[in-house]
Amino acid sequence: MAVLEEVPHVMVRVRVAGELATEHDNMDDQPVVPCPDEPDVELPAKHCYIESKSGAEFSIEVTASSSFRIPRGYNRIRATVYVDGIRMRSRLFGKHPFPDMLPISSVKFPPKANNDPPVLKNFVFTPITRIDDASAEKVTNDIARAKHIGQIMVIISKVKVHGHSSWSPGDIQNKPNAQEFELAEKAMKGRELSHATSLVESSERANTSFTNVVAKSKLGAFIFDYRSHEALQHEMIIPRSPSLEPASSASPGEDDLSHLSESEIRRLARERLRDTQTKNEPPRVKREADWTPRTPRQWKIVKLDDGKNAFDLTNE
């Protein structure tokens, strides 16, 4: 769970396909980062990696504990989400008593008809297709795009709000709509970028009101770099899977057991054990039912002329 020292009672987490994402430490963690909208402003930051999965929806959860207090002179806390370097959505919390949890899983788009509410579109991980023969113009454009691809940034601010107004779409021209994402190989410069974020329409309805912010001050940023499982291994964020030892080649007469059930395998093992035990038993002489053992023969001892003893085998 990502926690920032400057805002110790505010926590930010990411859910992928409904499950909390495991956070992996970033060994090159930067203590401060520039604000996307204000590059001259540096923010204290907490940086980690999470695993992304193709086609999985994800959401951001911002939680303020019961110990959190809104700083004097302000009346709300705002969480602003940037995905792949693009500002997606801001939400306010603090109206209700703490603890309070704020989920952010979508972005607003203009309504399809004049009297309809805004359309919500959910965040989805989309695999990146690498292009080897991209034009020089595309490589140049993709270099600028690739700087922020694969990253979720959540900026926490203390704000003062007053009144409401109608929601307006604002600048949405850069928000991703495509379900496929192509990127020039040369633009990645060796980075293990595996996914970008696309948007899919949600069935939820969005509200049409907008809260006016009259004062704000940024407190810090939470950064989640998302990669596929394989990309995390290549970047040595997580251990590589142990290599499997090559299976010994089966002899021509050996049966393949992969299609057998566990009970069948146990049965074959018992039969094999019984056969082995039978082979190891010493040979036995078959005896008739009325057979009785013979008593040992008593041999006659005679004395020879030279005084030595000998057995008499003449049976006389």
- Condensed to tens digits (0 to 9), the pLDDT of residues 48-69 reads 999 999 999 999 999 988 888 8
Measure Cα distances from 29 to 26, 33, 49, 173, 204 in Å: 5, 10, 10, 32, 36
pLDDT band at 190 (very low <50, low <70, confident <90, very high): confident
Please, are residues 176 and 95 in contact by the beta-carbon 8 Å criterion? no
Which residue did the predictor score with more confidence, 3 or 23? 23
Residue predicted with more confidence, 3 or 5: 5
User: Tell me, what's the pLDDT at 257?
Assistant: 65
- Mean pLDDT estimate for the chain: 81
Query: Which of 38-42, 81-85, 304-308 is the most confident on average?
Result: 81-85
Lowest mean per-residue pLDDT among 181-195, 224-238, 287-301 = 287-301
Phi/psi for 284 (5° steps) reads -120, 145
Determine which of 8-12, 49-53, 178-182 has the lowest per-residue pLDDT on average.
Answer: 178-182
Q: Which burial class, exposed, middle or buried, applies to 167 when counting CB atoms under 10 A from its CB (0-12, 13-18, 19+)?
A: middle
For position 255, what pLDDT does the model report?
55
**Of 60-64, 146-150, 194-198, 275-279, where does mean pLDDT reach its minimum?**
275-279
The answer to whether residues 213 and 161 touch, using CB atoms and an 8 Å cutoff, is yes
Higher pLDDT, 189 or 239: 239
pTM of the model: 0.72
